[in-house]
Homo-oligomer: A and B are copies of this chain.
């Protein structure tokens, strides 16, 4: 069996036991609260992990791009929601093609896109699910909670070859620590109640109400009316998740294995993992400093990144020798995964598998 020491650095390692524990914990939580778990696979982009999620009870998965859906369908997943406003003739055609072989739905927020998908579904003779996206406070996509939006929902409900699944929202703004989240959830519930009142008054059903992100995932049952959640990061966790108190460093399954390659500059050591390996994403909240957490080394911090260099600052007395191997938990695991062609599934010092990141770089 291959040993971790035989892996060329830098490389991304996934701890099999932690991954499995994370998958089971979220599946268990959703089971206990009667929530459908439709994980966002943008975090891992690996069909093998998507299949594990299905095995643990997820009815289907979430992706952001048609090309990601194609890869996941090829990988054996047969129920996929594309939570992204898809624009472009060729993409609408590809969605309809996909609906010939698996169950597909799309979340969007404009009549233009709904009409286009209805048209391509008609041409292909298929049905595509539709979820209407509402903005509950993140301010990115989603219709406002107003009666004008209900008129759009009505319009979409009448389009042919679309299956009305319900509504969708993304609470990306709910990610602070516990005290901040308590306030945010209360505000979110007021907004959701207002939305349900508008939809009910217009006689629009909501078989699915899809929300959820990783920081607030284990409190999803407290959001009014939610039937499904779409967390992504929980499979691996990262420094952002720990920072938002949704996990501890012991729950982080993904680490970058890296080597010290230079110690020439005083109070510094340079590792062979820079932003090309870790991504340059800063933390989402707090002081937003540093670029990853160095495991078992409280004597150093990852202060800065160049593309190919991680800049460690060494505290007084820290020992870092050229050739030393370290493991770093990234700030944000999703873009980090998107930089890898392959990852290594490990159990302690043993390499179990090398997985291809099959949905990496799928931008269309």
Interface residues of A (CB under 8 A from B): 8-11, 42, 64-65, 84-88, 90-91, 109-110, 112-113, 133, 135, 139-144, 172, 259-266, 268, 270, 272, 275-277, 279-282, 306-309, 311, 322-323, 334-335, 338-341, 361, 363-364
Contact = CB atoms under 8 A, between A and B. Distances in A.
Contacts of A322: 85, 87, 110, 112-113
A119 B174 CA distance: 56
A88 B9 contact: yes
A267 to B, nearest CB: 9
Say what secondary structure dominates the interface of chain A.
Answer: loop
A87 B90 CA distance: 46
Nearest to A43: B307
B361 A141 contact: no
Which 5 pairs across A and B sit closest by C-beta, in order of nearness? Answer: A85-B261, A141-B262, A109-B264, A8-B364, A64-B308
A153 B326 CA distance: 29
Contacts of A142: 262, 264-265
B281 A280 contact: yes
Given A141-B270, A275-B281, 9 more contacts: A11-B363, A11-B364, A85-B270, A86-B261, A113-B322, A140-B306, A143-B264, A144-B266, A339-B363
Contacts of A282: 280, 282
Contact of A280 (B42, B140, B264, B335): B335
Contacts of A311: 140
A264 B308 contact: no
Contact of A140 (B87, B309, B339): B309
Contacts of A338: 276, 307, 339
Contact of A8 (B42, B88, B272): B88
